[in-house]
Structure 1
Amino acid sequence: MLDVTVIEDPAAAAASLDPVRARLLAELATGPASAAMLAGQVGLPRQKVNYHLKALERHGLVELAGERRKGNVTERLMRATAASYVISPLALAALQPDPDRFRDQLSARWLLALGARLVRDVGTLIRGAAKARKRLATYALDGEVTFASAADRAAFIEELTAGVSALIRKYDAADAEGGRGHRIVVAVHPTVKAGTGEPRAAEPETPELTRNSPDDTNT
């Protein structure tokens, strides 16, 4: 079982978003189970559960883990193909965000568009690498920092921008034969309170950090 997988197919995305099927996926992420076992857990008839399992199997969201005899019946034990799923913007190809349409480093919605592109591109790369049976070279850095003030945050962003830009200028070899391009995304946003959509702590903003699009919240 994969830790996380990306759903690109619109029909598979729709299947995963169905409340009953999402509940079945959650149950199967904890271990293999048959339709009869799941029926008692989700409170539905076995036939109904089996119908949903077949739909999930068609879209590659669950797979056969094994079979067992129970009386005169052979039960199929199913398991989720991943512990969690992320829906790629490719599932809504005509509506997926395009961060190249506008560039505003202080816009929360531009940050969201970058995040959506990251999910789309990495999902596509994972699929391609798996098909080619090759390793995918990636790197991610995740951390938290508490700023004493909005001014300190502004100074941090200024230094971060200068440092990353200098590294890009130092190592960029666009004309190198055999060189391979890599995308760099760096994000800074308030930490979210557990279980809410609110920032962990509110703080007064400085003018240079509140220049957002009209429909943006402060970032």
Structure 2
Amino acid sequence: MLDVAVIEEPAAAEASLDPIRSRILAALAEPGSAAMLAARIGLPRQKVNYHLKELERHGLVEFVEERRKGNVTERVYQATAESYVISPSALAAVSPDPSRAPDQLSARWLLALGARLVQEVGSLLTGATRAQRRVATFGIDARVRFASAADRAAFVEELTQAVAGLVGRYHDEAAAGGRTHRLVVGLHQVPGDGGMTAAPAGPPPMAGTAPESDPEAGQEDQR
């Protein structure tokens, strides 16, 4: 069972969002048959069995084994992952495009960046899982509490300059056999931690960033 699975197909996304099927997925963190699930979630076995078949058809649950109970043979299933993320690619026609209106101070643009991150990393994970390989990734998660809006503006300015310097130092457009990577730095106030404050005036768009397109996007990189 995977820790996290990415749902990219619209039909699979629809199946996972069904309230009954989402309950079944949660219950199948541990293997179970239709009869066992019926007892766990309080639904008729025939109804559970129908939803199990649909979830299996979309690759959200998998057959584990058969168990005999007297004259009855039960098929035991398990969810394919402990948790699921629906990729924006499941809504390709209306998925956000951060290149449409880039604005470093826009919360909606930051959301579009996050959606693109889910879509691209999800694609990498899907391909790597099929190839039974790992995805080379790195993440930083930090909390910063600013004393004032001015401090926050100064932090954004310094962060922008530091990232621009690093990108400019290491980016090599002409490198033979190089791999293009995307760097996203997000900063937002922690929900529930005090009142919302006005956004400060920000720095100009950062120069020297890596190109948007990657001819090898979706492929595993072990280097």
Give the equivalent residue in structure 2 for 1:151: 150
Find the aligned partners of 1:9 and 1:177 in 2 and give their Cα distance. Answer: 35
Distance 1:192 1:36, change over 3 A: same
1:96 corresponds to 2:89: no
Are the equivalent residues in 2 in contact too, given 1:150–1:203 (CA < 8 A)? no
| Contact in 1 for aligned 2:13/2:86 (Cα 8 Å) | yes
Equivalence for 2:60:
61
Task: Quote the offset at 1:125 in angstroms.
Answer: 1.2
RMSD: 1.3
Letter in 1 for 2:68: R
Shift of 1:5: 0.8
The secondary structure found in structure 1 opposite 2:81 is coil
Q: Which runs of 5+ in 1 are unaligned?
A: 194-199, 210-219
Q: 1:175 aligned to 2:171?
A: no
Identity of aligned residues (%): 64
Shift of 1:207: 4.6
Conserved 8 A contact 1:149-1:203 = no
CA offsets 1:122-181 (integer angstroms, 9 cap, x no match): 111112223334332111111111111111111111111110110000000110101110
Provide the rounded CA distance (Å) in 1 between the counterparts of 2:130 and 2:70.
41
- Shift of the 206–186 alpha-carbon distance from structure 1 to 2, 3 Å rule, reads closer
1:201 and 2:194 are equivalent in the alignment: yes
TM-score (norm 2): 0.87
Secondary structure of 1:65 counterpart = strand
- 2:124 maps to which residue? 125
Residue 161 of structure 1 aligns with which residue?
A: 160
More helix by share: 1
Partner of 2:86: 87
Mark the CA change 1:184 to 1:57 in structure 2 (over 3 Å): closer, same or farther. Answer: same
- In 1, the alpha carbon distance for the partners of 2:199 and 2:80 equals 47
Q: 1:124 to 1:203 in 2, by over 3 A?
A: closer
Q: From the superposition, tell whether residues 110 and 167 of structure 1 become closer, same or farther in structure 2 (CA, over 3 Å).
A: same
Number of the residue aligned with 1:18: 18
Question: Partner of 2:62: helix, strand, or coil?
Answer: strand
Number of equivalenced pairs: 202
Mapped contact 2:153–2:200 kept (Cα < 8 A): no
Deviation of 1:203 (Å): 5.2
Counterpart of 2:7 in structure 1 is: 7
SS in structure 2 opposite 1:173? coil
**Against the structure 1 CA distance between its residues 17 and 111, is the aligned structure 2 distance closer, same or farther, given a 3 Å change threshold?**
same
4+ long deviations beyond 6 Å: none
Distance 1:201 1:69 in 2: 57
Superposed displacement of residue 92, structure 1 = 0.7
TM-score (norm 1): 0.88
CA–CA distance in 2 between the matches of 1:86 and 1:206? 30
- Is contact 1:10-1:92 (8 Å) kept? yes
Residue deviations 1:4-33 (CA, integer Å, cap 9, x gap): 01000000000000000000001112x111
Secondary structure at the residue paired with 2:78? strand
